[in-house]
Each structure stands twice: as structure tokens, then as C-alpha cells.
Amino acid sequence: MKEILKNEIAKDIKMPEHIAIIMDGNRRWAKEKKLPTKFGHKKGAEVLETISRYCNKIGIKYLTVYAFSTENWKRAKEEVGAIMILLNSYLDRFIKNADVDNMKIRIIGDLSSEAVPEKLRNKMYEMEKITKNNTGMVFNIAFNYGGRSEIVRATKKIAEKVKKGEISIDNIDENLFAEELYTCNQPDPDLVIRTSNELRTSNFLPWQITYSEFLFLKKYWPDFNENDIDEAIKEYSMRNRRKGK
């Protein structure tokens, strides 16, 4: 995208406002290289750091990544532990560079769960607080996130408001429902990218990606790079988004 932005073709490139990424393939990447699984996650975390900064640099306004799902707790205890350690280290670096990167970090998912380590939970809250006034890209990290549980959560919150008499059933519409989602006040993703050649959404943002464009890539997440973002934006730019019209 650096090359695109520098030439006259830039005006013809339709930039997505919001990109969502399902980062898949860390374990398979490590296995093919005959490395322990934790090395795949470590490399994946390094790639995420690079890609988030690059998206911020080229003007993407919102980036949402699927970092850890509610189902991922079912993985081997050793692997989950290694991921938690990596996340702690990752957040430490973001907190340290918050002013430099100018990104606004948000964690979307159930942080109240007892499964979430207290130290990690507190660090996530700290990072959101430190970056809340930043004016760069909004970077959503989906952690302990499940799309269906998000919808159930929103439904319960609306039902509670009806019960208290704050709203009537007739007030409930799509806009009101969206206000109870983790991504309230944000545009829905324009483009969803999934790596490792898996052709499914895996409970990721089911409400928000109804009209998103999808791009499925064969390469594993640890092999993903800035050029892949450039190519994804080019592909997105060539698509005609009719949204049912």
C-alpha cells in the first residue's frame, strides 16, 4: 500500500474503514517447521504487532482481530498457558508504546469470566484506560470472545431494560440491538480476512459481518505480512458492495 499511496492510482483505491482478521494457522505453521506449538503463537504475536501498526500507518480506522475465542480454553493447558504469557508480553509492549503508536485499544469479549487470569484482565483494563484518548486507529482485540454469547449478552441487557421500564418492546430495532454489542458506535467490518485456507467464520462477529466482504487466504498467519494487507485492500477495492440492493 505504500507504493499505492505514493502514486496517482491512490485516488482509485477504495480503502476499507474497518478490517477484521481471523488469525489462523499458528499451530500448523509450527508443526510443519517441526517446532513446538508455542513458537507458532510467538511468531503470530509478532506478526500481529507488525500488521496492527501498518494498518494504523496507512489509514485504516478500525482493526478487529480474533485473538482468543471462548472455545480456545478447551485446548491443552500448556498451550493456553503459553498464549496467556504471550498476551501479557504483547500488552506490555503496547502499553509502553501507547503514545508513539497513538492507537486506541479496546478488548471485546467476556473479561469478567473466572477463566481469565486476574493479572491479564487488569492489564487489559489498564491498556484501554491508557489509550482511550488516542486519536489513531481503533484496535479491537477479541479475547475470550464468542459471537453467539455476545448476542445472548446483548439480548439479556435489552430484556433487563424492558423489565425496568426503561424501554418498550416496540423500541427494539437493529440500531438499538447494535448499541448493546461490544462494537457499539463502530462501523461494521468492511472486509474480513481469514488465513490458513479455512472457509468458515468460527463464531466471529456474526451480527457485524452480515454484509462484509470475505477474503480467505491459504497462507498461515505467521507468514502474513504488510504486502498481504496491500493485496487484500486492492481486492476489496475491486468488489461491488451492493448490500442487497
Per-residue pLDDT of the chain (245 residues; tens, 9 = 90+): 555 554 434 567 899 999 999 999 999 999 999 999 999 999 999 999 999 999 999 999 999 999 999 999 999 999 999 999 999 988 888 888 877 889 999 999 999 999 999 999 999 999 999 999 999 999 999 999 999 999 999 999 999 999 999 999 999 999 999 999 999 999 999 999 999 999 999 999 999 999 999 999 999 999 999 999 999 999 999 998 776 66
Residues 108, 113, 116: CA angle, nearest 5 degrees: 80
Asked if the structure places residue 112 within a domain, the reply is: yes
Whether 189 and 210 have beta carbons less than 8 Å apart is answered as no
Asked if the structure places residue 162 within a domain, the reply is: no
**110 among known catalytic residues:** no
Name the residue range of residue 20's domain.
16-146+189-234
**24 among known catalytic residues:** yes
Asked if the structure places residue 161 within a domain, the reply is: no
- Looking at the DSSP assignment, which residues form a beta bridge with residue 214? 192
Q: Which of 72, 102, 134, 203 is catalytic?
A: 72
Q: How many angstroms separate the first and last alpha carbons of the chain?
A: 30
Asked if the structure places residue 11 within a domain, the reply is: no
Burial of 234 (0-12, 13-18, 19+ CB in 10 A): middle
Asked if the structure places residue 240 within a domain, the reply is: no
Residue carrying the nine cell digits 462484509: 212
Q: Which of 24, 101, 188, 230 is catalytic?
A: 24
pTM confidence score: 0.93
- The CATH number of whichever domain residue 113 belongs to comes to 3.40.1180.10
Q: Count how many domains the chain has.
A: 1
